[in-house]
Amino acid sequence: MSHTAIQIEPGAVPQESGLMRAGVYRGEGRVVVEQVPIPAIGEGEVLFRVAACGICGTDVKKIQHGFIAPPQILGHELGGTVVRVGRGVSKFKPGDRVVSFHHIPCGACFYCERKLFSQCAGYKKTGLTAGFDPNGGGFAEYVRAMPWIIERGMIALPPDVSCEEATFVEPVNTALKAVRKARVAGGEDVVVIGQGPIGMLLTLLARNEGARVYASDPMPGRRAASVRFGAAEAFDPAASDLVAEIRRRTCGRGADAVLLAAPSPALVPQALAMARPGGRVLLFAHNDPVLQLQFPAAAVGVEEKEILGSYSASVDEQAASVDLVFRRRLPVREMISHRFPLERIADALELAAHPKHDTLKVVITHE
């Protein structure tokens, strides 16, 4: 991962009702707090005020490596309060607290029929924006939601669920999709490599499926947290031979599934070596468009190990992810290690990109 510094140029708090503050991506490694227009809404649309927005690893990659064209307002793990509704909106009213997905599939195309929702052309359209090209918008004070999102991707919060907790609905969905795509089952031995926010969710969800989960991370604070949250053991990859340790605990076979939540290309052959013959390796973090991977062909062609990919959320897991967060079946509040106001978004992004030993989830708060 690049170590390009993320810079910030603080802007004055706007006094005009038609302006808001936003962290605007202005080019590789550069986010600027600016005054931008509050989005105007049309028929069937909703404007809501963002209360909290989690920082996703994908946001960090886009900003650090310049994978998108500026200007953009990112942030898609967000919850807030409806302040204005367009004509024809009856599902929500001003004052309702909501959490919202930013992608929703059409439900009727070739890919949707095969439940490959993230490959649907409609899914690839972003339905939340704070201005410029739609790209989530949670790093701003207000976000405009488009009709198809309101209809099937926006969810009212119960009174006892905070907006901070609600920011986990989308990442929990993505992790749940990955765990189920890897066919994790009760009684299996599963390894999760990387215990950042997504890796931690993969650990929690694999444990929920009844698997015995072994975790790996170079940071002692993250290893301690993974054990606290239910991992059987957590290993320091620099201090142990992880392949040998896992084989020792599985009668020499290897893990049934290895979930890879760290983007290093070198971890792919290690994950394959860690999996038993016929086992599964799921790549979660390898979504860099220029990254190339190499691995021994015999691991797949002779030992019949599967390499799987999982990207983004699934509408089929929407109800389950909401239930996991709203009913507090996962300790998501304990996963928030750092909170930053919007004015300090550069510090927040820098910490998310280069975490310290105790860094888990980093959240931008607006209240």
pLDDT for res 2? 35
Q: Which residues pair with 77 in a beta bridge?
A: 54
- For residue 110, give every residue at least 6 positions away whose Cβ sits within 8 Å of its Cβ, in sequence order, or none: none
* Tens of pLDDT, residues 185-199: 999 999 999 999 999
Report the candidate in 129, 257, 273 with the shortest Cα–Cα distance to residue 188: 257
3-state SS assignment for residue 356 = coil
Phi, psi dihedral angles at 256 (to 5 degrees)? -70, -35
In angstroms, rounded to a whole number, what is the distance separating the alpha carbons of residues 39 and 135?
A: 13
Contact 261, 281 (CB under 8 A): no
9 pLDDT band, cuts 50/70/90, is very low
Report the candidate in 278, 139, 285, 272 with the shortest Cα–Cα distance to residue 201: 285
367 pLDDT band, cuts 50/70/90, is low
CATH number of 19-167+314-365: 3.90.180.10
3-state SS assignment for residue 216 = strand
- C-alpha distances (whole Å) from 212 to each of 181, 249, 360 are 17, 11, 22
Can you read off the two tokens belonging to residue 90? 């009856």
- Which pairs count as long-range contacts for 157-160, CB under 8 Å and 24+ apart, including other chains? 157/79, 157/97, 157/98, 157/99, 157/326, 158/326
Which uninterrupted H or E stretch holds 46? strand 46-54
Give the pTM. 0.94
Report the candidate in 197, 139, 165 with the shortest Cα–Cα distance to residue 348: 139
Q: What angle (nearest 5°) sits at the alpha carbon of residue 164, between those of residues 203 and 82? A: 135
289 pLDDT band, cuts 50/70/90, is confident
3-state SS assignment for residue 101 = coil
Domain pair 19-167+314-365 / 183-309, same fold = no
Can you read off the two tokens belonging to residue 68? 């998108």
In angstroms, rounded to a whole number, what is the distance separating the alpha carbons of residues 172 and 327?
A: 13
Contact 55, 89 (CB under 8 A): no
* Tens of pLDDT, residues 98-157: 999 999 999 999 999 999 999 999 999 999 999 999 999 999 999 999 999 999 999 999
pLDDT for res 24? 98
Indicate the fold that domain 183-309 takes in CATH.
Rossmann fold (3.40.50)
206 pLDDT band, cuts 50/70/90, is very high
Q: Tell me which residue has tokens 């009913």.
A: 327
**What are the extents of the domains in the chain?**
19-167+314-365, 183-309
In angstroms, rounded to a whole number, what is the distance separating the alpha carbons of residues 148 and 135?
A: 15
In angstroms, rounded to a whole number, what is the distance separating the alpha carbons of residues 145 and 84?
A: 11
* Tens of pLDDT, residues 152-202: 999 999 999 999 999 999 999 999 999 999 999 999 999 999 999 999 999
Report the candidate in 263, 250, 260, 265 with the shortest Cα–Cα distance to residue 308: 260
pLDDT for res 343? 97
CA–chain centroid gap for 46, Å, is 24
- C-alpha distances (whole Å) from 290 to each of 66, 128, 364 are 12, 26, 29
In angstroms, rounded to a whole number, what is the distance separating the alpha carbons of residues 161 and 327?
A: 9
Greatest alpha-carbon span in the chain: 67
Looking from the CA of 156 toward its CB, the CA atoms found within 13 Å total 9
pLDDT for res 290? 84
